[in-house]
Amino acid sequence: MTTDQAMTTGPKTACALLTSSGTLHDFLTGLAGSIAHELGGGVACSVTVRRGPRVPVTSGSSDAVAAALEETQYITQEGPTLQAVQTGEPVRVEYLPADLRWPELALRGTADGVATVFAVPVDGDLAPLGAVTVYAPRAEALDAAARARTAELAGQHAVALPIALRMFEYAAHAEHLRVALTSRYVIDQALGVLMSRHSCNARTAFEVLRRRSQRDNVKLRKIAADIIVSTTGEAPLPPGPIPH
């Protein structure tokens, strides 16, 4: 790989993953895998983002070892990844089995054959947005050149991560809106059935629906769908496209 190719691997990979990933976790997992593959040396990697001023965070890992060590940090609320995110400074663990700062992480990492750890913050506009953390079975796998390349990749992905956050948050918001609109549409159909059946207004029909939902401990949308099916013999129609 040439120097020019190495410099563009990070952004190109991130762009490809943005278009192919279905969730933020998928994107971060792919990113972690690509970083681990580029660094080589049998390393494992995690990419973590902070979705607000506090934990919880979301992460993706290149393999089960990195995933387990990230989970240990989230459970104990301490470790190199979280410290890098919180302080904005790189964190290096030269020899994990002898490190006294995070005993539970050291115990788990030693059992998984991890010898050294390096966590690099990913900068955001006002505070660190996340971190790239690399776990290696041998100290030489995270030598000065590997640590420098890890920091370089973290800097490159400082552009991609906020884009991914916004993109997947918008997608989730759009899906929530779609579900809410569909539920409202089904409920409105059921209200029409009840108004016709009982010769009542919409408020009274909704009260009938609400009481049945509470009595049966079933969601309002499910009660509404059952009313439509029992009346028409067919499932509720989905909302049609919005007219232009």
72 and 57: one domain? Answer: yes
Asked whether residue 240 is domain-assigned, the answer is no
pTM of the full predicted structure? 0.63
pLDDT level of residue 89 (50, 70, 90 thresholds):
very high
Of 170, 188, 219, which residue constitutes the final position of a domain? 170
The total number of structural domains that make up the chain: 2
What distance in Å separates the CA atoms of residue 185 and residue 177, rounded to the nearest whole number?
12
pLDDT at 197 exceeding the cut of 70: yes
Q: Is residue 226 part of a domain?
A: yes
Of 66-70, 167-171, 209-213, the poorest mean pLDDT is in 167-171
Q: Are 47 and 104 contained in the same domain?
A: yes
Q: Which residue, 170, 195, 220, sits at the end of a domain?
A: 170
pLDDT band at 242 (very low <50, low <70, confident <90, very high): very low
Pair (183, 138) in one structural domain? no
**Percentage of the chain modeled with pLDDT above 90:** 32
Helix (H, G, I), strand (E, B) or coil at 45: strand
Same domain for 108 and 209? no
Determine the pLDDT at residue 178. 65
Residues 119 and 134 in one domain: yes
Q: Is residue 220 part of a domain?
A: yes
* pLDDT single digits (tens) 3-26: 333 334 555 566 666 555 567 778
Contacts of 154 (CB under 8 A, 6+ apart): 120, 121, 122, 131, 132
198-238, pLDDT tens digit by residue?
888 988 888 888 888 888 888 888 888 888 888 887 777 66
- Widest Cα–Cα separation across the chain: 80
Instruction: Of 167, 160, 83, give the one whose Cα is nearest residue 128.
Output: 83
* Same domain assignment for residues 26 and 67: yes
Domain with 130, as residue range(s), is 3-170
Output the pLDDT for position 230: 84
Which of 170, 189, 219 represents a domain boundary (last residue)? Answer: 170
Considering the domain architecture, whether residues 146 and 227 belong to the same structural domain is answered as: no
